[in-house]
């Protein structure tokens, strides 16, 4: 083992500019210490307004019942569950970045993990709203918890994937929150130590849990990170797997297909990364963090998008081929041929919109030039999230709207204003949280950036030219064997 700090110059630097540790602190903590800008206030209050609209929509739904929504007995799941799955999917990127990319030693995760994890947590909070309020009698919500109960023989249905969702999502939320917060401790301590006012010192001091930066703290912090990464890795897969079970365990054509679990996970990561792009492209510009969230970071995430988009594409085509042709099952074929692929059927357009957004358009990112284009990336990130919303809509609505009994077919479903309001309300919640996060939290993992600065910082890499040019075997003898 060599202690040499070296990384090939073929890799782009992960921190641009002539940076030292102090400069990194200034760049990342600086914005927290300033007063919020006008733009921040505008954005924040718009979000709060949306949130309030959502609260009002929920108030209507709770007071007057689910009838406030346009669901009917055929389309029993509509916007609410579409939105639920969509938000849960978005909430996958953060933990993938912090856990799986940590295990894969992807250095670029350090620039984006903090914001992505925050986004994950907010997205899961939004997702949770939908099943909770869909219960109708929400004051009974605690009935989903299988506590040693006072309800006599009344237990939750352990056979139901909806119950597995309760366990999967709450576990995922808890572990993601712990992961995110434990990573924040050293950074909060830095903010505390730089604080000029008493209140600031007090609040950030509480948030930092008395972190002193002693070796002992670091040692425990690092083992905790590894343990949480190990725990989170299966969780990244399990949450959307179980969400897919909500559909796939049924006998409904279009829902019951064995490829659902891994394909849902790939789709979730796909949409999660798109949302990270949407947010970070704005954040890096507004907060002047282009040196830390570089073009290299954006390109790497676009590669993840083209990869997961293609995996999703492979699954769509597999499903279409098997469902519409190979199965030769009357009902499967009807769903795929008539309800989906037939563009002139009532919801055919949504199927092709989904295909275009999720499979065709990400293929643009095979081009390096487009991967590194901010405008294209931003536009694509929106397209992908529209596509992924439609994926869930297609799965949920087109599988059931013409069911086994033609008299109950419901070929027209459009959401009521309160369904839309509820959805907009979750945007309000999401962005309100994100604005607060961006203002009061270090949006980049300061301590982690420092840990890679000397291998991946532009100025440090520039000094590695001699090693880069050296013959590999000579390098080994001089640098590695001598180090022993």
Partner 1 sequence: MNNHQFVLPGSYKKWTLILLIVGLLTIVYGFFAFDATAHGGHGQNVAATRFWAVLLQNSVYWLLLVNASMFFICVTTMAMGGWQVALRRVPEAISSVVPILGLITFIILLCIVLGHRTDIYHWLDAEAVAHDKILKAKSAFLSPGFYITWSAISIVLWSLLGRKMRKLSLDTDKNGTMDYETGKAWIWKNTVWASLYTVFFGLTVASTIPWIWLMSIDPHWYSTMYSWYVFASTFVASMSLIAIYIIYLRSKGQLEYVTDEHLHDIGKFMFAFSVFWTYLWFSQYMLIWYSNQPEETRYFVDRIGTAEKSGPFHGIFFLNLALNFLGPLLILMKKATKKSWTVVTLTAVMIIFGHWIDVFQMVMPGTLHEHAELGFFEFGSAAFFIGVIMWGVGRYITKNSLVPKNHPFMKESMIHHT
CA distances from 117 to 180, 240, 306 (A): 6, 17, 21
CB of 144 to partner 1, least distance (A): 20
Minimum CB–partner distance for residue 392 and partner 1 (Å): 18
Residue with tokens 């487009």: 370
Closest to partner 1 by CB, 298 or 433: 298
User: CB within 8 A of 472, min separation 6: which ones?
Assistant: none
41 vs 476, which CB is nearer to partner 1? 476
Nearer to partner 1, 198 or 469 (CB): 469
- Closest distance to partner 1 from the beta carbon of 482 (Å): 12
For the beta carbon of residue 107, count every other beta carbon within 10 angstroms: 16
Least distance between partner 1 and beta carbon 170 (Å): 21
Comparing CB distances to partner 1, the nearer of 249 and 459 is 249
- Tell me if residue 15 falls in helix, strand or coil: strand
Distance CA 199, CA 206 (A): 11
Q: What angle do CA 416, 422, 424 make, to 5 degrees?
A: 105
The least CB distance from residue 259 to partner 1, in Å, is 4
**Smallest gap, in angstroms, from Cβ of residue 16 to partner 1?**
18
Do 102 and 229 touch, CB atoms closer than 8 A? yes
User: What is the spatial distance between Cα 309 and Cα 364, in angstroms, rounded to a whole number?
Assistant: 11
Shortest reach from residue 10's CB to partner 1, in Å: 5
Which residues make beta-bridge pairs with 15? 457
When the beta carbons of 285 and 463 are compared against partner 1, the nearer one is 463
Q: What's the closest the beta carbon of residue 98 comes to partner 1, in angstroms?
A: 17
φ, ψ for residue 15, nearest 5 deg? -130, 120
User: Could you tell me the CA-to-CA distances from 320 to 11, 257, 327, 334, 369 in Å, in that order?
Assistant: 40, 11, 10, 11, 32
Q: Distance (Å, rounded) from C-alpha 266 to C-alpha 259?
A: 11
Q: Is 442 left (phi over 0), alpha (psi -120 to 50) or beta?
A: beta
Question: Which residues of the chain form contacts with partner 1 (CB under 8 A)?
Answer: 1-2, 4, 6-11, 103, 105, 234, 237, 241, 245, 248-251, 256-262, 303, 310, 314-315, 317-319, 322-323, 325-329, 366, 467-473, 475-477, 479-480
Shortest distance, CB of residue 372 to partner 1, whole angstroms?
A: 14
Q: How far is CA 423 from CA 58, 72, 119, 130, 187, in A?
A: 10, 19, 17, 9, 34
Instruction: State the alpha helices, DSSP H only, in 65-160.
Output: 79-90, 93-95, 101-103, 109-134
> Of 10 and 197, which has the nearer Cβ to partner 1?
10
CB of 436 to partner 1, least distance (A): 35
Burial of residue 318 (number of CB atoms within 10 Å: 0-12, 13-18, 19+): middle
Q: How many CB atoms lie within 10 A of CB 33?
A: 13
Q: Which is nearer to partner 1, 202 or 480 (CB)?
A: 480
Give 26 or 478: the residue with its C-beta nearer to partner 1.
Answer: 478
CB of 100 to partner 1, least distance (A): 10
Q: How many residues does the chain have?
A: 484
Beta bridge partners of 457: 15
Q: Choose between 349 and 366: whose C-beta lies nearer to partner 1.
A: 366
Q: How far is the CB of 356 from partner 1 (least distance, A)?
A: 19
Nearest of 427, 353, 345 to residue 390 by alpha carbon: 353
Minimum Å gap between C-beta 453 and partner 1 is 18
Looking at the Cβ atoms of 99 and 279, the one nearer to partner 1 is 99
DSSP state of 478: I
CB 359 within 8 A of CB 309: yes
Minimum CB distance to partner 1 smaller for 58 or for 394: 394
The Cα 36–Cα 436 span in angstroms is 10
Measure the CA–CA gap between 330 and 290, rounded to whole angstroms.
Answer: 55
Nearer to partner 1 by Cβ, of 9 and 170: the residue is 9
- Using CA atoms, how far apart are residues 360 and 376, in angstroms rounded to an integer? 15
Nearer to partner 1, 123 or 266 (CB): 266
């Amino acid at each position: 083992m060599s202690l040499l700090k070296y990384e090939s110059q073929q890799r782009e630097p992960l921190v641009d500019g002539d940076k030292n540790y102090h400069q990194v602190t200034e760049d990342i903590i600086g914005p927290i210490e300033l007063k919020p800008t006008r733009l921040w206030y505008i954005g924040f209050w718009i979000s709060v307004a949306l949130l309030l609209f959502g609260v009002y929509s929920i108030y209507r739904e709770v007071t007057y019942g689910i009838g406030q929504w346009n669901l009917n007995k055929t389309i029993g799941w509509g916007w609410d569950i579409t939105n639920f799955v969509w938000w849960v999917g978005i909430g996958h990127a953060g933990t993938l970045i912090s856990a799986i990319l940590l295990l894969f030693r992807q250095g670029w995760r350090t620039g984006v993990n903090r914001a992505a994890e925050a986004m994950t947590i907010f997205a899961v909070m939004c997702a949770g709203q939908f099943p909770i309020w869909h219960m109708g009698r929400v004051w009974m919500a605690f009935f989903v918890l299988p506590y040693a109960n006072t309800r006599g023989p009344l237990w939750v249905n352990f056979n139901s994937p909806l119950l597995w969702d309760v366990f999967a999502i709450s576990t995922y939320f808890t572990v993601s929150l712990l992961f995110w917060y434990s990573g924040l401790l050293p950074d909060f301590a830095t903010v505390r130590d730089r604080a000029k006012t008493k209140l600031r010192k007090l609040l950030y001091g509480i948030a930092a849990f008395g972190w002193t930066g002693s070796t002992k703290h670091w040692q425990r912090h690092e083992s905790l990170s590894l343990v949480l990464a190990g725990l989170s890795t299966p969780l990244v897969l399990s949450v959307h797997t179980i969400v897919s079970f909500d559909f796939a365990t049924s006998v409904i054509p279009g829902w019951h297909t064995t490829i659902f679990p891994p394909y849902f996970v790939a789709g979730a990561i796909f949409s999660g990364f798109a949302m990270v792009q949407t947010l970070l492209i704005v954040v890096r510009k507004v907060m002047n963090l282009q040196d830390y969230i570089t073009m290299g970071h954006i390109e790497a995430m676009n590669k993840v998008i083209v990869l997961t988009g293609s995996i999703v594409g492979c699954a769509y085509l597999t499903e279409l081929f098997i469902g519409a042709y190979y199965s030769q099952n009357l009902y499967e074929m009807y769903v795929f041929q008539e309800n989906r692929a037939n563009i002139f059927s009532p919801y055919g357009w949504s199927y092709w919109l989904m295909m275009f957004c999720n499979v065709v358009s990400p293929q643009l990112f095979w081009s390096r030039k487009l991967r590194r284009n901010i405008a294209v990336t931003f536009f694509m990130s929106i397209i992908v999230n529209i596509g992924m919303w439609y994926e869930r809509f297609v799965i949920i609505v087109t599988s059931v709207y013409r069911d086994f009994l033609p008299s109950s077919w419901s070929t027209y479903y459009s959401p009521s204003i309160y369904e839309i309001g509820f959805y907009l309300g979750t945007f309000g919640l999401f962005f309100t949280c994100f604005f607060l996060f961006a203002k009061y939290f270090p949006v980049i993992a300061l301590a982690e950036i420092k840990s890679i600065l000397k291998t991946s910082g532009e100025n440090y890499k520039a000094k590695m030219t001699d090693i880069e040019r050296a013959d590999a075997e000579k390098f080994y003898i001089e640098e590695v064997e001598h180090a022993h």
